[in-house]
């Protein structure tokens, strides 16, 4: 999905081409903010002659604002084919699904904010944990997304795809927003960017609360703050940014389907009312930019403190609750230098980049009851009780990523992007089990090289053709890489992908992309539903599928957006109970209609289809499909004030937000039960938002 813009200072194609050439060669230069002053006249960019694949795109603030979202993480559904869901309390990281992946809380989908990683490595609750709650949507200037392992600047986790999110440096006018709604919802936002010294001082403060329809209210309390000083221009300037987030909530986790169907529990029931969490994130980051006739140089540095204290119970017995704590400090440095090269084709750019990251992590797993630690903790996997666990880990995980990329327009109808990336990881862990002090203490080093190649043919008759091939990787949890008992996981797991695609605007007003892809994974990470964790299966997997995306500007007041995707995911190796991958998404679709004739009224409807998925490896248990319809009606009181009525689940569907299969749970004093468990979507509800600019 692309934002259509009319540029005031240069032709559209050359400007976007320059921006996305930098985007494909440097993660640090792929910010749509770097384009000159623009005037929004539609809702997509035209990327003919600019994009390197059919799957690459960007969404601007106007497109983000048009989406109807119930929670912050759902703004990422601007990425075609991506489903963002939730199985627990509002403050928890979302569940993500894309291209045949159940991405759990973020594995195999890389996310970043102004160059800072959002995914958290070796996290207490799951590898790649990506919490988007610290975002303030109104301050996002753009989201640049890519899919597949075809981009040298994208490293760890960027297999299914990546989303690079950027905050704005300034706002034209201040924003004051107040929202009220059913289920205990309220939200206030205050933001502005006054002139300060020689630059702009952007600030934002968000406060929100939500209970949800649950018998045990979520009581989610969220506090979010941003302060950014920016000086200079996008070509030659710098910025300093401080962010702070705090959240606290109760959790209504998934509930057993059989007992719900039998009328033994409410649809809004909680199996353990003491489940819940508190989380925080604090960061300080800086960016420095220089551009001249020879090329560009971008440097980013950051320090992030993340904390999570989470209580969960997926087996429902009082003594089956467990506590996962994760406290970490992440530091990093990104540098990218791009040179314009003469004498190769019509135009060419070479880019070299380095990405450094270090995580100092303290995490633990404890057996608890009603948030009180149980007196005894036993060694995981012991005969006495394999589910009662207690462990503590002190992890230092460091990485160095180097990449080089060559971008050449050979002539008017052929261009290539060739890249090579090398990543070195160091996994160091001082682990402590309750009965074996040195079982998980070790240091492991790993290295992987991942080549990439994109070829683009055209445009002919407003149509381009693409072929992409390349390797990617994801890192595994350090606790599995350094484990002293059992089989160790590989530190870095290779993927191999290839894709063919087409992008066309041959029909006036209609932009269409179509891509067919295949992605092989050397070792599949799978979700263990009854333990709430992921593990390395040691089995190879393959995903094949297609994406078909359409944007149609029917007339000056009606825009239709229709995206469809399907994927087939299977294990390639025998083992387990079958070759299906649990939770792997198959068919998804999104159809949106936006009406805005320039008068006081505006509105949108958004239909979202989340198809059925296998919940067991033999495909004997499957989820149902989930279809929701959301909408928004806006009335502009004057040029600075607007009122919006937002409706969720307008058809009042009684579907699942997410489903799993649980091998072992207890109910009513009976243990050893098994079956489907689910988290319901919320019933029809409404919110009213007043927005004023000052």
CATH number of the domain that residue 389 is part of: 2.40.170.20
The DSSP line for 230-273 is EEE-SSSEEEEEEEEEEEEEE----EEHHHHHTTSS-TT--S-T
Mean pLDDT, rounded, of the chain:
89
Residues in the chain: 694
- Structural domain count, the chain: 1
The answer to whether the beta carbons of residues 484 and 503 sit under 8 Å apart is no
Give the pLDDT of residue 550. Answer: 95
Q: What are the DSSP calls for 486-544, one per residue?
A: SPPPPSEEEEEEEEEEEEE--STTEEEEEEEEEEEESS-EEEETTTTEEEE----EEEE
pLDDT at position 42 is 44
> Please, is 662 exposed, middle or buried when counting C-beta atoms within 10 Å of its C-beta (0-12, 13-18, 19+)?
buried
Average pLDDT of the segment spanning 451-458: 98
Neighbours of 348 (CB within 10 A): 19
Parallel, antiparallel, or unpaired: how do β-strands 195-196 and 185-192 relate? Answer: unpaired
Q: What's the rounded mean pLDDT across residues 261-290? A: 97
Q: What average pLDDT does range 28-52 have in this prediction?
A: 54
3-state secondary structure at position 61:
helix
For residue 486, is pLDDT > 70?
Answer: no
Percent of the chain whose predicted confidence (pLDDT) is above 70: 89
- The model's confidence at residue 389, banded by pLDDT at 50, 70 and 90, is low
The reported pLDDT for the residue numbered 433 is 59
9 CB-side CA count, 13 A: 6
In tens, the pLDDT along 58-100 reads 998 888 998 999 999 999 999 999 999 999 889 999 999 999 9
525-528 and 533-536 strand pairing: antiparallel
pLDDT at residue 1 above 60? no
Count of CB atoms within 10 A of residue 337's CB?
Answer: 19
Instruction: State residue 319's pLDDT score.
Output: 86
547 forms beta bridges with 515, 565
**Integer angstrom CA distances of residue 93 from 72, 126, 183, 596, 665:** 10, 10, 20, 33, 24
CA distance 597 to 557: 4
- At residue 436, the pLDDT reads 44
Q: How far apart are alpha carbons 12 and 39 in whole angstroms?
A: 11
How far, CA to CA in Å, does 500 sit from each of 1, 84, 172, 183, 586? Answer: 18, 26, 41, 46, 19
Question: Quick one: average pLDDT of 439-452?
Answer: 92
Angstrom distance (rounded) from CA 49 to CA 72: 33
Average pLDDT over residues 492-510: 96
Summarize pLDDT for 562-609 with one digit per residue, the tens: 999 999 999 999 888 899 999 999 999 999 999 998 889 999 999 999
Domain that holds residue 337: 5-693
Quick check: 116 pLDDT over 50?
A: yes
Model confidence at 41: pLDDT above 60 = no
């Amino acid at each position: 999905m692309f934002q259509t813009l009319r540029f005031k200072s240069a032709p559209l194609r050359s400007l976007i081409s320059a921006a996305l050439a930098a985007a494909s060669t440097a993660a640090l230069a792929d910010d749509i903010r770097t384009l000159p002053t623009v005037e929004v006249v539609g809702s997509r960019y035209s990327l003919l002659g600019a994009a390197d694949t059919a799957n690459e795109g960007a969404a601007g603030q106007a497109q983000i604002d048009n989406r109807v979202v119930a929670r912050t993480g759902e703004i990422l559904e601007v990425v075609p084919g991506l489903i963002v869901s939730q199985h627990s309390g509002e403050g928890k990281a979302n569940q993500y699904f894309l291209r045949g992946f159940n991405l759990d809380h973020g594995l195999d989908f890389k996310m970043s904010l102004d160059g800072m990683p959002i995914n958290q490595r070796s996290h207490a609750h799951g590898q790649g944990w990506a919490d988007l709650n610290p975002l303030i949507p109104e301050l996002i200037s753009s989201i640049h997304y890519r899919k597949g392992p075809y981009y040298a600047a994208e490293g760890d986790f960027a297999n299914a795809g990546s989303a690079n999110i950027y905050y704005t440096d300034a706002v034209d006018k201040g924003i004051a927003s107040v929202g009220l709604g059913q289920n205990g919802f309220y939200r206030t936002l205050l933001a502005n960017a006054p002139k300060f010294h020689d630059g702009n001082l952007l600030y934002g403060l968000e406060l929100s609360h939500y209970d949800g329809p649950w018998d045990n209210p979520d009581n989610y309390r969220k506090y979010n703050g941003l302060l950014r000083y920016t000086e200079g221009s996008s070509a030659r300037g710098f910025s300093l940014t401080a962010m702070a987030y705090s959240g606290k909530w109760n959790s209504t986790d998934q509930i057993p389907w059989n007992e719900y169907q039998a009328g033994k529990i409410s649809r809004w029931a909680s199996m353990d009312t003491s489940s819940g969490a508190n989380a925080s994130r604090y960061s300080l980051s800086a960016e420095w930019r220089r551009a001249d006739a020879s090329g560009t140089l971008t440097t980013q540095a950051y320090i992030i403190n993340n904390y999570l204290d989470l209580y969960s119970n997926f087996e429902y017995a009082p003594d089956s609750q467990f506590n996962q704590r994760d406290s970490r400090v992440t530091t990093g440095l990104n540098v990218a230098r791009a040179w314009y090269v003469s004498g190769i084709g019509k135009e060419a750019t070479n880019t070299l980049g380095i990405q450094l990251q270090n995580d100092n992590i303290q995490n633990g797993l404890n057996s608890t009851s009603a948030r009180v630690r149980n007196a005894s903790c036993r060694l995981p996997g012991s005969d006495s009780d394999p589910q009662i666990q207690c462990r503590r880990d002190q992890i230092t995980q460091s990485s160095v990523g180097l990449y080089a990329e060559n971008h050449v327009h050979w002539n008017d109808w052929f261009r290539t992007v060739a890249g090579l990336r090398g990543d070195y990881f160091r996994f160091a862990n001082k682990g402590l089990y309750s009965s074996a002090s040195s079982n998980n203490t070790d240091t492991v080093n790993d290295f992987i090289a991942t080549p990439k190649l994109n070829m683009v043919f055209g445009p002919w008759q407003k149509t381009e053709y693409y072929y992409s091939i390349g390797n990617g990787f994801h890192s595994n949890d350090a606790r599995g890489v350094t484990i002293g008992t059992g089989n160790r996981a590989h530190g870095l797991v290779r993927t191999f992908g290839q894709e063919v695609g087409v992008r066309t605007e041959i029909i006036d007003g209609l932009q269409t992309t179509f891509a067919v892809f295949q992605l092989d994974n050397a070792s599949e990470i799978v979700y263990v539903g009854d333990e709430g964790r992921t593990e390395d299966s040691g089995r190879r997997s393959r995903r094949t599928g297609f994406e078909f995306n359409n944007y149609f500007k029917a007339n000056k007041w009606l825009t239709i957006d229709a995206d469809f995707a399907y994927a087939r995911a299977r294990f390639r190796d025998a083992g387990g109970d079958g070759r299906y991958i649990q939770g792997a998404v198959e068919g998804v679709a999104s159809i949106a209609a936006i009406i805005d004739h320039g008068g006081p009224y505006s509105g949108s409807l958004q239909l979202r289809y989340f198809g059925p998925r296998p919940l067991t490896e033999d495909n004997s248990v499957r989820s149902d499909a989930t279809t929701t319809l959301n909408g928004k009606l806006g009335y502009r009181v004057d040029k600075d004030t607007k009122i919006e009525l937002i409706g969720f689940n307008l058809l009042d569907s009684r579907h699942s937000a997410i489903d799993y299969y649980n091998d072992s749970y207890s109910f009513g004093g009976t243990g050893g039960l098994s079956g489907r468990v689910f988290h319901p979507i919320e019933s029809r509800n409404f919110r009213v938002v007043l927005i004023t600019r000052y």
